[in-house]
Chains A and B, each alone.
Chain A
Amino acid sequence: MSRRGAKPQRRVTRWLIAAALTLMSAASAPALEFQCIEPSRYKNLLPVFDDDPNVFFSYFGLPRGRLPDMETCRSLLITGTLATGDADAMLERIIEGKGWLAVLYLSFQGTNLEEEARVAAIVRGFSLKTRAVRHAAFNYLPDFVLWGQPPLALTGTSAAAPPAREDILPLQRGLKTFVTRRDLALKLERDRSNCDESCRTVYHAGVNRLFNTSPASAPAPAPAAGNANDRLRVALIYQLDLNRLPATSDPQLSKPLGWAGVSPPATARLLREKCNPEFTVAESLEARLGDALEAAARNNLKPREVEALAVPFEAMSRGGARLQQCLAAALEVERLASFQRHCPQTCDRQALSVTFAATAREMLERAGKL
């Protein structure tokens, strides 16, 4: 080998080592990982709607239009460790989803106040739902319909129970098949499956917030230790939820963030307003069924008395289903409208990033003054 050829070869080797080191450091830098929850791709959810676009649009109370891209994910699992730049990565995922990304399953670690405030502002801004992972056993289920047993028939005797009614709840048939999928369990690490610190703030930013609970036999997870950031986080959530700061004497400020109610106040108001007729009917049906049950109980719940309850039960089931559908639709319409507000024609990722960063900075500054 000539010495003339050795120099460029060394340069190439040095360059390759440098590149490898850069890549390695990039790979090991903490960052969030966004994974599509496979069953939540719209192609996999469509069977829940009987593969019928009309059912899809009517269930959500949407005008007929373009269906979401079938490969789009309705839900993402977020793991890893929060780091600078993750808010932009989050934004990117939302833009990719074109408004059809609806739910974030949160199981990430770390504290980064600025970044968490930005991610929280984005989550609330786009009206996303959040699910906090508090235990490694978490199954994905659609967020827009309640999976429960179909109403039972009350006719017949112990000897011959007629089959359960599946014609009352919309989506029941499709959902029944969906829940038999074998890939519904989220891929979670047993010892890194919790949502504390920054993750807790992002959880609170959701417009519909749920978490999983440990099985009865498992020990309850230890509560998050209080730290200096708790006060700041409570103040952040106050601003997201109530658009104001808490009073300096507010006892909440001295506690770590708990597990808030499912709906922030504004969402609760919106749902009550949009579904007011359905709420009224469901409440009335509950009273009517209560009366019928009381009358049957006075007659010792004899078989004929129980059979007669089938009618008010069916009405109650239908009323409950209509209420659920209305609530699901209201949340869907709100999320799509939020996306439309931020991305009227196209999404300007840069501008959105700047806007949300400014919102987050302002919230943090105000919270810091408490």
Chain B
Amino acid sequence: MRRVWLTILLLAFAGCITGNRASAIEVTCIESSKYRHLYQLFGGDQKKLAAYLQIVTNRLPDPEFCRAALITGKVEPAKSQDVNKLLEFVVKNQGWLAALHLSSEGGAVGTGYQLAFLARVFWLKTYTVNVAGTALIYTPDFFVPPLAAPPGPAATGTAAAGATPEPSPESELAQGWKAYLAEQKKLAPTTVTFRACVSACGLIHAAGIERFGQVRVHRSRYSGEGALIDLSKSMSVTNEGLMRSEELQVSFYQQMDAGPDFIRTYQSTPPETTTAVDVSRYPRYVADYLNARCNADAGQLQRLERQLNISISAVSSPLFGQWIKTDRLRSATHKVRDQRGKAEQCVAAAHERERLAAFDKMCGGGCDRQKLLTMVESKVRDLAKGSR
């Protein structure tokens, strides 16, 4: 027990002392993720959203609920109430909060663990913010926008005169997507000034049940006022303290199954710098479950689509003024998107059920905030215990 508490103290030594106490994280609703806007994807029909996500129609989100939150600012030590802010947001949205978009330089590691466990127990997805200029780009987490119609008879206007095309789910989704984009344009943009997820922010990112975007990592360091190493401590104390902090962090990343590449990059990046690294999209066994359930690997299809786009750009780039035709690859892109759309829908539906069940488990008879905070703290303690 003494060792556990020693580790917690070392956590404070290695991460909780921060230079700037002026700001803490802010958790805000991403306006375009409010359900009243998301319903536009389905022609304003709430039941169609329920059918898409395979959830029961007698339990639908309030139109004002937020599906995604933006987390900005520095992660501060416990007294700054960062954990309460996120918990409050989760509770307020009654299980319908599904994704966290992260824009943070990091900060206190101890708080980072708490926020991370909170994200995991409520089955949240995590994203590094996607930004154009300073405007956040939000794409619903459960929806893969359909591509424009592929070149073909319908697109080239050679369909028989007077023939009315049959409505298909794909065309309905395309129309819904257009309507949603039009709705988004009417909203004030969400401004993001920091476009990365760095250091302790990576703990929250890694805890996502589905993870998108890169994290900038570095190995353990003393984050005191303007110094990466506390030179007032001896070398042996420093080595022992930071090694223990690293063990804890590696143990956390293993628990979250961030992937071997992620852990390797974390360990090999010196404290005075950061390295960008991909977190694997799902923990391995979640991936295995989803692959079996959906009979497809959505992540692999996503990579295939990216690879197709890379290949098309490589041989059709205007840089040298001459290129080859890529009609066949472009046509394949549509097939891949179509297949991926189905797989992603299946994955989204599986997550939806799991997330709502997780919320019910945590907050079935009303959310006891204190109990939840105690549970999160005990998870951090268990982590420290487990890492020894």
Q: List residues of A whose CB falls within 8 A of some B CB.
A: 143, 146, 148-149, 151-152, 154, 156-161, 163, 208-210, 215-217, 261-263, 267-268, 271-272, 275, 279, 282-283, 286-287, 289-291, 293-294, 297, 300-303, 306-307, 309, 313, 316-317, 319-321, 323-324, 327-328, 331
Contact = CB atoms under 8 A, between A and B. Distances in A.
Contacts of A313: 307, 311
The 3 nearest A-B residue pairs measured at CB: A158-B299, A290-B328, A263-B321
Interface string B310-340: 1101110111111011101101100110010
Contacts of B331: 290
B297 A157 contact: yes
A140 B328 CA distance: 32
B326 to A, nearest CB: 6
A293 B319 CA distance: 27
22 contacts: A148-B313, A148-B314, A151-B310, A151-B311, A152-B303, A152-B307, A157-B297, A157-B299, A158-B299, A159-B287, A163-B261, A262-B318, A263-B321, A268-B321, A268-B322, A275-B322, A283-B325, A286-B329, A287-B328, A297-B336, A301-B296, A324-B320
B133 interface: yes
Contacts of A216: 132
Interface string B127-168: 000001101000000000000000000000000000000000
A241 to B, nearest CB: 13
A250 B261 CA distance: 61
B286 A159 contact: yes
Contacts of B318: 210, 262
A302 B282 CA distance: 18
B303 A154 contact: yes
A307 B299 CA distance: 12
B288 A262 contact: no
Given A263-B322, A306-B301, A293 B329 contact: yes
A297 B301 CA distance: 11
Given A157-B299, A309-B304, A297 B322 contact: no
A317 B314 contact: yes
Contact of A271 (B284, B288, B311, B320): B320
B54 interface: no
Question: By CB atoms of chain A within 10 A, which of B280, B300, B313, B319 has the most?
Answer: B319
B144 to A, nearest CB: 14
A328 B317 CA distance: 12
A297 B329 contact: no
Given A286-B325, A290-B329, A328-B320, A321 B314 contact: yes
Nearest to A272: B322
B49 to A, nearest CB: 25
A215 B135 CA distance: 12
Contact of B307 (A154, A283, A302, A320): A154
Nearest to B320: A327
Contact of A320 (B281, B297, B311): B311
A173 to B, nearest CB: 15
Given A262-B321, A293-B332, A331-B320, A159 B284 contact: yes
Q: Is the interface of B mostly helix, strand, loop or mixed?
A: helix
B310 A159 contact: no
B315 A320 contact: yes
Contacts of B336: 293, 297, 301
B224 interface: no
Interface string B263-284: 0000000000000001011111
Given A158-B282, A290-B329, A301-B336, A152 B324 contact: no
B321 A152 contact: no
A158 B297 contact: yes
A327 B322 CA distance: 8
Given A217-B135, A300-B339, A303-B297, A154 B304 contact: yes
A286 B315 contact: yes
B332 A294 contact: yes
B332 A297 contact: yes
A282 B329 CA distance: 12
Interface string B86-113: 0000000000000000000000000000
A216 B320 CA distance: 24
B303 A300 contact: no
A160 B315 contact: no
A273 B126 CA distance: 50
B17 interface: no
Contacts of A158: 280-282, 287, 290-291, 297-300
B353 interface: no
A293 B339 CA distance: 12
B288 to A, nearest CB: 7
Given A143-B319, A217-B132, A160 B259 contact: yes
Given A161-B303, A283-B325, A289-B311, 18 more contacts: A157-B297, A159-B281, A159-B285, A159-B286, A161-B281, A217-B132, A261-B321, A271-B321, A282-B324, A289-B328, A293-B328, A300-B339, A301-B339, A316-B314, A317-B310, A320-B314, A324-B314, A328-B320
B54 to A, nearest CB: 20
B299 A323 contact: no
B291 A157 contact: yes
Given A157-B297, A157-B299, A286 B287 contact: no
Contacts of A328: 320
B280 A159 contact: yes
B246 interface: no
A279 B284 CA distance: 42
A37 B261 CA distance: 37
Given A159-B257, A303-B300, A149 B310 contact: yes
B306 A152 contact: yes
B232 to A, nearest CB: 34
B63 interface: no
Nearest to A210: B318
B156 to A, nearest CB: 19
Contacts of B322: 262-263, 268, 271-272, 275, 279, 327
Task: Give the most central of B287, B306, B308, B320: most A CB within 10 Å.
Answer: B320
B386 interface: no
B311 A316 contact: yes
Contacts of B280: 158-161
Nearest to B189: A217
B133 A215 contact: yes
Given A154-B303, A159-B288, A297 B325 contact: no
B335 to A, nearest CB: 4
A216 to B, nearest CB: 6
B278 A161 contact: yes
